[in-house]
């Protein structure tokens, strides 16, 4: 590899929202730094299926079908 071209790849600790920690390798921070997550798969509704999972319940898709639902491509 060329010198001074690639970022340093080192070990850091990740702290999840529930307090669990694990080590991984990353280019973020310095060797031994702690990355504290505010959102992770154990707490975010996109992964847990909590409220807000359905963003468009009768919104844009329903309006489109109401306006253009009767159109067809047949001549």
Residue with tokens 């489109």, as numbered in its chain: 64
74 falls within a domain: no
User: Does the structure show a pLDDT above 60 at 7?
Assistant: yes
Give residue 20's pLDDT band: very low, low, confident or very high (50, 70, 90). Answer: very high
Minimum mean pLDDT range among 6-10, 12-16, 53-57: 53-57
> Is residue 19 situated within a structural domain?
yes
Please indicate, yes or no, if residue 72 is contained in any of the structural domains. Answer: no
Domain that includes residue 19, residue range: 1-43
pLDDT category of residue 52 using cuts at 50, 70 and 90: low
Q: How many domains does the chain have?
A: 1
Average of pLDDT values for 1-7?
Answer: 82
What is the full DSSP assignment across 33-62?
Answer: -EEEPSS-TTT-HHHH--TT--S-SSSHHH
Model's pTM, two decimal places? 0.53
């Amino acid at each position: 590899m060329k010198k001074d071209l690639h970022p340093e790849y080192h070990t850091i600790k990740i702290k999840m929202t529930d307090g669990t920690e694990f080590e991984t390798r990353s280019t973020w921070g310095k060797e031994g730094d702690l990355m504290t997550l505010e959102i992770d798969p154990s707490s975010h509704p996109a992964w847990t299926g909590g409220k807000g999972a359905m963003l468009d319940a009768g919104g844009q898709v329903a309006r489109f079908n109401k306006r253009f639902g009767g159109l067809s491509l047949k001549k």
